[in-house]
Amino acid sequence: MFPSGRSMRGISDRKEPALNFISTSMEETMKQSFAKRLALLAVVPLVILIAGCGRHPNSPADHATPASVELLNRSTGDRLAWTDGTGAGKNWDGGLPHISVGDELAVNVRFLRANGTEIPLGGQYTVRARLAEQAEGGAGTPGIVQLENHGDHVDITGLADGETRIVFMLWHGSHADFTAPPIEVEVATMNLP
């Protein structure tokens, strides 16, 4: 027996809770460490994904905004139509020539920045055309023309007599960064002056 009157068994009993505390603390530390590792495993792929994508796809820095647009006859290089601004209320100067039923007009589209430099087509940007929608000042009439997008130019083929409206878009990935104002196309069975 010890001077306090306790046996070894009493001392041992007193140390057991302390050992339990150490054991419990180690378990908690291991659980916290595991939780941190698990969180890290979840965050690392996310960081890699974000870093790989660069900026958000809708970030203005990722989108080109032309100050003007030019339409050129792909065969002759002649300037057909142009805008001096963008957005609603902007109009075309010049115009597309009349197209005969069955004929095709290949159009190069130049999207120009405010400083006059051209936004290059064929890499991350392409040109596409479609019929104008009602919200764009009046819907284009289906069945008058066929539009074939080639990335660097658009072929417009006359299908039937009539007029329709089309828009040219600066395409970036899966969406249009810019849509030019609608322009009229007239198709007739014979060439008009």
Looking at the DSSP assignment, which residues form a beta bridge with residue 93? Answer: 82
Strands (E), 60-174: 68-73, 79-82, 93-94, 99-100, 104-112, 125-131, 145-149, 153-158, 162-172
Taking the C-alpha atoms of residue 107 and residue 128, their distance in angstroms, rounded to an integer, is 11
Per-residue pLDDT in tens (0 to 9) along the chain, 193 residues: 555 555 555 554 455 555 555 556 666 766 776 666 655 555 444 444 333 333 344 444 557 788 899 999 999 999 999 987 655 457 899 999 999 999 999 999 999 998 989 999 988 999 999 999 987 878 889 999 999 999 999 999 999 999 999 999 999 989 999 999 999 999 998 755 5
Using CB atoms within 10 A of its CB, is residue 183 exposed (0-12), middle (13-18) or buried (19+)? buried
Whether 108 contacts 71, CB under 8 Å: yes
How would you class 169 by CB atoms within 10 Å of its CB: exposed for 0-12, middle for 13-18, buried for 19 or more?
A: buried
Q: What pLDDT shows up at residue 46?
A: 44
Copy the structure tokens of residue 154: 């658009």
Contact 67, 85 (CB under 8 A): yes
Type and span of the H or E element at 187 = strand 183-188
Q: Yes or no: say if 121 and 70 are a contact pair by the CB < 8 Å rule.
A: no
pTM, to two decimals:
0.66
Look at the domain 60-188 and name its fold: Immunoglobulin-like (2.60.40)
CA–centroid distance for 83 within its chain: 24
What separation in angstroms does the CA of 4 have from each of 11, 13, 16? Answer: 11, 15, 19
Stretch (H or E) spanning 179:
strand 175-179
pLDDT of residue 134: 85
Q: Give yes or no for a contact between 130 and 167, defined as CB atoms under 8 angstroms apart.
A: yes
Residue with tokens 């919200």: 135
